Amino acid sequence: MLKVFNTLSGKKEEFKPIEPGKVKMYVCGITVYDYCHIGHARAMISFDVITRFLRHIGYDLTYVRNITDVDDKIIKRADENGETPAQLTARMIDAMHEDEVALGNKLPDIEPRATEFMQQIIDMIQVLVDKGFAYQGETGDVYYRASKFAEYGKLNNRKLEEMLAGARIEVEASKEHPADFVLWKPAKAGEVAWESSWGKGRPGWHIECSAMSTHCLGAHFDIHGGGPDLKFPHHENEIAQSEAATGEQYVNYWMHCGAVRVNNEKMSKSLGNFFTIREVLEKFNPEVVRYLMVSSQYRSSIDYSDASLKDAKTALERLYTALRGQEVASEFTPSEFTQRFKEAMCDDFNTPVALSIMFELVRDLNKARAEGSAEAPLLAAELKTLAEVLGLLYQDPEYFMQNSTIAEGLSAEEIEGYIAERAAARKAKDFARSDEIRDLLLEQGITLLDSREGTTWTRN
């Protein structure tokens, strides 16, 4: 039985899809005005793992994740760069996909862009206006009447007045109520804009997701996901406008991943602890970053630091060491490790417990290898299969062990040259030179591992 923590109810619930055997999931994507940061990586990887496991246990899943490609930040950044918003977003979308593939993610099935769904957005706003849930203010902006939606606040389990206290709510004279939020805003001269019955303009952020999700998945679907900062006001507003427009329950299960903290502090450009995915991948193998993200349950916060990445690297090396030089069977009969792994993942995608089971499997694999048992290739295959659910162990073990850290020192060719020279020195019984080469490489962060098959190496 799969159990999922539902933000809407505040507890774990048995997962029951609307249509047996099929799952429809929408996740809020990126506003593409800059390179993705490690907070984005958390959400990307979290929902990639969820997608992988749902498919692993037999669900026919449709995964939709939107792209916000029209926004005030996009317009401002494009103007600063001396390019059009379309040029900026095209570059950033390509960069986002590159980052995601590098991290081992599979791309969503459908990736709608706001600019391609403008008619659906305008149509939904018109429905809200016709039903009395929206109005045009004196400034020309079209607002949603938050107070008219009786269940406003149900996702955050708070009343409207409680949510307004201390929240950053944009107060404008043309609003009927401080909680009312914009659905359509008039364009300034020279800005990208679309024609509508309320004048030339562009949509507010919240309405974009409602229009795209319901168009791609229907008025009522199974899962809606996103980062922890989206619960209010974004997802609360999505519920209000979607259910008012369609008259149906919008989503059954709301899922939110945890935040990323940097050295126990909130990630912020002002604190100088803000890192893009690209900056991190200049120092660490992408799979090390992925391991760090899945080593905590998706709803937990993660503390990002060089120390935590080094711990992730060490743990991942233990897994790869078990596969290094090991034959992997093409077929195997799942053992109790697979059953326990599935039980852990069925408990709200508990990846830390799932990983602990994989390390138990590694212990048995190492023992089987040492004994020369025929079980070793079968256990290796089972390990690889379970790891694939988490998006791990997809690299060649030898390659990973030599590239788990992105080093600026010796190249692989230079290291292999030293190893060949050392082998020649040992053959000539020049053990002083052999030791000298080993020590030289160790100073460069390279550890040599001698075995009957020869010498391999890894970066420290």
Please tell me the number of Cα atoms within 13 Å of 324 on its side-chain side: 21
| Binding site per annotation, positions | 28, 209, 234, 238, 269
> Backbone dihedral region of 124: left (phi > 0), alpha (psi from -120 to 50 degrees) or beta?
alpha
| Binding site per annotation, positions for ATP | 269
**DSSP letter, residue 170:** -
Round the average pLDDT of the chain to a whole number and report it: 93
Q: Please give the pLDDT value at position 444.
A: 82
| CA-based nearest residue to 234, from 117, 116, 136, 155 | 155
112-142: buried (b, 16+ CB within 10 Å) or exposed (e) per residue? bbbbebbebbbebbbebbeeebbbbeeeebb
| Binding site per annotation, positions for Zn(2+) | 28, 209, 234, 238
- Tracing tokens 């391991």 back to the chain, one arrives at 291
Q: Please give the pLDDT value at position 406.
A: 64
Q: Please give the pLDDT value at position 146.
A: 96
Domain boundaries, the chain: 17-260, 310-397, 412-459
Please tell me the number of Cα atoms within 13 Å of 300 on its side-chain side: 14
Q: Please give the pLDDT value at position 169.
A: 55
310-397: same fold as 17-260? no
CATH 3.40.50.150 fits 310-397, yes or no: no
Name residues of the chain where pLDDT drops below 50: none
CATH 3.90.550.10 fits 17-260, yes or no: no
149-174 per-position pLDDT tens digit? 999 999 999 888 776 665 555 556 78
Q: Please give the pLDDT value at position 344.
A: 98
106-142 per-position pLDDT tens digit? 999 999 999 999 999 999 999 999 999 999 999 999 9
CA distance 337 to 316: 18
H helix or E strand, kind and range, residue 456: strand 454-459
Q: Please give the pLDDT value at position 167.
A: 54
Q: Please give the pLDDT value at position 238.
A: 98
In contact, 312 and 291? CB cutoff 8 Å: yes
